Each structure stands twice: as structure tokens, then as C-alpha cells.
Amino acid sequence: MTILAHRSKADRTVDWAIYILLGLFGLVTVFPIYYVFVMSVTPLAEVLRSGGFTLWPNSFTLEAYKWIFSSPVIPRALRITITVTTLGTLLNLIVTTLLAYPLSKKFIPGRSGILLAIVFTMLFSGGLIPLYLVVRATGLMDTIWALIVPATVSTFNMLIMKTYFENLPQELEEAARIDGCGEFQTLGRIVLPLSLPILATLGLFYGVYHWNAYFYGIMFLQDRALYPIQVVLRNMITTQAVSQELNLTNTSAIQQLPPETIKMATVTIAIAPILILYPFVQKYFIKGMLIGAIKG
């Protein structure tokens, strides 16, 4: 407190300038999300009167959300996305852990060569056509596994987890081995309980990736019943026939809403789960990134 009380006027000015700058960056980041939500609950008459832009509507309507959830497309797409995100993130964490843990041990034979081969994939890849041929040859086309298996592990995330494991106290693992624990027992009973921050961090990374992914859905899925929410949203944005995309038979009522309002409501639904989830893992996210990114 004494140090803060004796800060110079120039230091306080710099602090206020930093706060103002960060506040402006935060406003620029939050405003698009706010605008999307406001437009999704603004009645048609007010949208037309305001020329398609309003900061705060005089009245609110949930008609767009009503029509979205009355469609069989959006609820089904959400179920597909939740399933892919849950299974994909779980598989990602398992494979990343089983790959990063042994590579964090310097006594593993051939460790340097394996690491070099893995890092090589970050710089060079086979491309889209070989990936498509592999997915088709393995029979994953038109299944939800086509959205999960090609993204089983991220090299960048694996390196972060490997660095985290290297910073854990080796004495704990040595004590576990003295007590008769094998490698899997040491991993399950000692390492993983100490690795909740990095698991939560990478789980958020993987979960956000699966939730927002749409390119694999476009490439590997032809059955529209398997489309995740982001593919449905992409198709809605690129077309004006919103009622056709939502598979609604009663088009007279939905025509009372502009297509942009339906699209904004779908965007809100697509981003809401991630926005709700993030505050619960924020503390693990910050701690995991700081520890996992710095080699002690």
C-alpha cells in the first residue's frame, strides 16, 4: 500500500491509459456479440425503421428463437455438435496424454526422433486430397467419426502437455514406483490429479475447436441429417431461403421475420454454450497456460 501511495503522477497516468486501452479492446470484442443478440430479439418493424441497425430495441421478441426450435434441423444439429464435441474432446485428451507422458521422459529410446517426426507434421502436411482419400478408404464418410478421428491429436497441444509433465516433481513419480506402481498407475494416481489445470486448458481448446468446426462436415458429410450446427449456420448464411434450410413447412409466419434475424438467433445459439462454459474453466485455463508454456 505504501508503494502504491507513492506512485508518481506519470505512473498513474500510464495506468489509466492502459485501463482505457484495455477497456476499448474489450468493447470492440464484446460489441459484435452484443449486436448479434440484439438483432435476434428485435421486431421486424423496428429493424425496418432503423435501417437494420439498432443498439437497443424499444421492444423485444423471441419469435426467431421460437421458429428455430420448432424446426427439426437446429435441435438435431445441436445434438450432433454436442456429441461430436464430447466424444472428440474425450478422445483428444486421452490420446494427447498417452502421447505426451512418455515423450516427457528423457530416458525413452528414440525420443528425439519421435519428437522430430511429430513436430514435422506442424510444418508440413499431406493436404486435403490425401486426407479425403484416407477418410473415404477407412469408411468414415457420412459418419460423425469423420468429424472426430481426423482431428484426434494436435501437435501444439501435445507439446504444451509434454512441457507441463516435465515440470512436475519427479520425486513424486519415483516415490510411486518405489511403492510398486507401474507406469499407468503412476499416470492415473499421481500425474493426472496434478494435471487438472492443463487438462482443463487443452479440453477447452479441443472443445472449442470441435464446436466451431465446419470444414470437415462440408468435406466428409453428404447426409444432411448429420450436419453439425456450424454447417447448418454456414448454409443459412449463404442462402436467403431460410425456411427451406430449416425445413419449415409453414413459411407464411416465418416471413414476418427478416432472414437476418433468424441468422442472428442461430449465431447466438451456436456461441452461447462456449460463452457459458468458459467462466467455469477460466482459472484452470490461465494456470495451465502459464505452467504448460514455460519450462522450469
For position 294, what pLDDT does the model report?
A: 47
At a CB cut-off of 8 Å and minimum separation 6, what does 93 contact?
199, 202, 203, 206
**Residue 170 domain flag:** yes
**Residue 2 domain flag:** no
**Residue 55 domain flag:** no
Question: How far apart (Å, rounded) are the C-alpha atoms in residues 39 and 36?
Answer: 5
pLDDT in tens, 124-162: 877 888 889 999 999 999 999 999 999 898 888 999 899
pLDDT in tens, 220-250: 998 888 999 999 888 888 776 666 667 665 5
**Residue 151 domain flag:** yes
For position 90, what pLDDT does the model report?
A: 95
- List the domain range (segments joined by +) for residue 261: 70-292
pLDDT in tens, 76-131: 999 999 999 999 999 999 999 999 998 888 888 888 888 888 888 888 877 888 88
As given in the structure block, the three cell numbers for residue 247 are 425445413
**Residue 229 domain flag:** yes
Question: How far apart (Å, rounded) are the C-alpha atoms in residues 98 and 165?
Answer: 11
Q: What CATH number corresponds to the domain at position 212?
A: 1.10.3720.10
Pick 85 or 251 by higher pLDDT.
Answer: 85
Highest average pLDDT, of 57-61, 64-68, 135-139, comes from 135-139
Share of the chain above pLDDT 90, in %: 20
**Residue 40 domain flag:** no
As given in the structure block, the three cell numbers for residue 23 are 477497456
At a CB cut-off of 8 Å and minimum separation 6, what does 75 contact?
69
**Residue 15 domain flag:** no
**Residue 19 domain flag:** no
Dihedral, 75, 80, 83, 87 alpha carbons, nearest 10 = -160
Q: Count of domains in the chain?
A: 1
For position 296, what pLDDT does the model report?
A: 43
Helical pair 259-292 and 63-70, crossing angle rounded to 10 deg: 80
